[in-house]
Amino acid sequence: AQKITQTQPGMFVQEKEAVTLDCTYDTSDPSYGLFWYKQPSSGEMIFLIYQGSYDQQNATEGRYSLNFQKARKSANLVISASQLGDSAMYFCAIRAGNNRKLIWGLGTSLAVNP
Amino acid sequence: DGGITQSPKYLFRKEGQNVTLSCEQNLNHDAMYWYRQDPGQGLRLIYYSQIVNDFQKGDIAEGYSVSREKKESFPLTVTSAQKNPTAFYLCASSLGPGLAGGRSGNEQFFGPGTRLTVL
């Protein structure tokens, strides 16, 4: 079975600074994918970034990058140059092997201070 | 514009009533999903469908039913058998299940959600 752990219930960051949101995962399948989503107060889940287990390089999408450490089974999200609009819940999720389902963490609440 | 729509945004139900939540997508995605989100919780999968006229139970299917008669539509019915239906419901779609670990994650795209309250 797969599992996602997000150990930071809440985080604060100053505007324009970088912040790292932690995500560790557990799976015995060598083939898996890791996803990060943002959920603002409106409720909609917004896809941010994806990392495949066979990808040689860390994924990047604009101000989002993924610090993927396979041996440690961690996939931390790095947001550079934080903006006030980054204040939201952030969820990490995993899909492994032939499993069609995404397994979700409990999320981290990020507040960006002006 | 392509996307996923859910209606209504807010829904109130009396105990003992069935209620149906709508989910429509025009992304030409094969797979569709229904999730439930409770305060302080992650998303929990209710049902999913990989293709028209086929669907599978997720982790918390009891008290819910779905249909997939059209590719674009995946309505969720919350029945009176669901003992604690008050929650935020999210519908999602993806191109397909994708190949885990591959370069494309076939990420899921979400609708705006429906907040259901039982009175």
Taking only the tens place, the pLDDT of each residue in A82-114 is 999 999 999 999 998 776 788 999 999 999 999
Residue A102 backbone phi and psi in degrees, to 5: -90, 135
Residue to mutate among B21, B43, B54, B56, with most A CBs inside 10 A, is: B43
For A45, the token pair is 């889940």
User: Is the peptide bond between A30 and the residue preceding it cis, with omega within 30 degrees of 0?
Assistant: no
A25-68 per-position pLDDT tens digit: 999 988 899 999 999 999 999 999 999 999 889 999 999 999 99
Residue B95: the pLDDT is 85
A102/B101 touch (CB, cutoff 8 Å), yes or no:
no
B112/A43 touch (CB, cutoff 8 Å), yes or no:
yes
The count of residues in chain B is 119
Question: Which helix H or strand E contains B11, and what residues bound it?
Answer: strand B10-13
Q: Are A86 and A11 in contact (CB under 8 A)?
A: no
For A23, the token pair is 């995500």
For A3, the token pair is 């599992």
Considering only CA atoms, give the Rg of chain A.
14
Query: In sequence order, what are the residues at sequence separation of 6 or more whose Cβ sits closer than 8 angstroms to the Cβ of residue B11?
Result: B19, B21, B114, B115, B116, B117
Q: Are B92 and B106 in contact (CB under 8 A)?
A: no
Residue A56: the pLDDT is 87
For B89, the token pair is 């419901």
Query: Measured in whole angstroms, how far is the alpha carbon of residue B89 from the centre of its chain?
Result: 7
B100/A101 touch (CB, cutoff 8 Å), yes or no:
no
For B91, the token pair is 């519908």
The segments of chain B whose pLDDT lies below 70 read: 1, 97-105
User: Which burial class, exposed, middle or buried, applies to B28 when counting CB atoms under 10 A from its CB (0-12, 13-18, 19+)?
Assistant: exposed
Whether A79 has a pLDDT exceeding 90, the answer reads yes
Chain B residues inside the 8 Å CB shell of A98: 100
Q: Which of A28, A49, A48, A36 is nearest to A96 (CA)?
A: A28
Say how far apart CA B66 and CA A53 lie, in whole Å: 33
A54/B102 touch (CB, cutoff 8 Å), yes or no:
yes
Q: Please, which pLDDT band fits residue A76 given cuts at 50, 70 and 90?
A: very high
Residue to mutate among A5, A35, A58, A95, with most B CBs inside 10 A, is: A95
Q: Max CA-CA distance within chain B? A: 46
Mean pLDDT of A6-17: 96
Q: Are A96 and A31 in contact (CB under 8 A)?
A: yes
Provide the shortest C-alpha distance from residue B59 to chain A (in Å). 10
Q: Are B74 and B4 in contact (CB under 8 A)?
A: no
Residue B39: the pLDDT is 86
